[in-house]
Amino acid sequence: MAIPNIRQKVINRWQKLQLNYRQKTAKVHPQPLLILGHQKSGTTVIAALLGKVAQQAVTIDPFHQIDLNAALRQKLYNHDIPFQKILKQHPYYFSTPIIKDPNFTFLYEPLKFSFPQSQYLLVMRDPRDTIRSILNRLQIPGNLPQLSPAYQNKLANMSARGWDLMLQGQLPQVSGETYIQRLAQRWLICAETYQNHQQGLQLIRYEDFNQNKVKTIQNLAQTLGLQATGDITQAVNQQYQPKGDRAVNWLEFFGRDNLAQIEDICGEKMLDFQYSRQEK
Indicate the angle between helix axes 179-196 and 127-138, nearest 10 degrees.
Answer: 130
Beta strands in 105-249 (DSSP E): 120-124, 202-205
Quick one: pLDDT band at residue 280, thresholds 50, 70, 90?
very low
d(CA 78, CA 165): 14
The string of pLDDT tens digits covering residues 47-62 is: 999 999 999 999 999 9
Mean pLDDT, rounded, of the chain: 93
d(CA 240, CA 46): 10
Quote the pTM value.
0.91
Asked which of 5-9, 170-174, 205-209 is least confident by mean pLDDT, the reply is: 5-9
Exposed e or buried b for every residue in 236-272, given b needs 16+ CB within 10 A?
beeeeeeebeeeeebeebbbeebbebbbebbeebbee
197: pLDDT strictly greater than 90: yes
Instruction: Single out the residue of 49, 28, 106 nearest to residue 239, CA to CA.
Output: 49
Quick one: pLDDT band at residue 19, thresholds 50, 70, 90?
confident
* pLDDT for res 213: 96
> Phi, psi at residue 224, to the nearest 5°?
-85, 5
What domains can be seen in the chain, in order of their start residue?
15-272 (3.40.50.300)
- Mean pLDDT calculated for residue range 154-174: 97
3: pLDDT strictly greater than 70: no
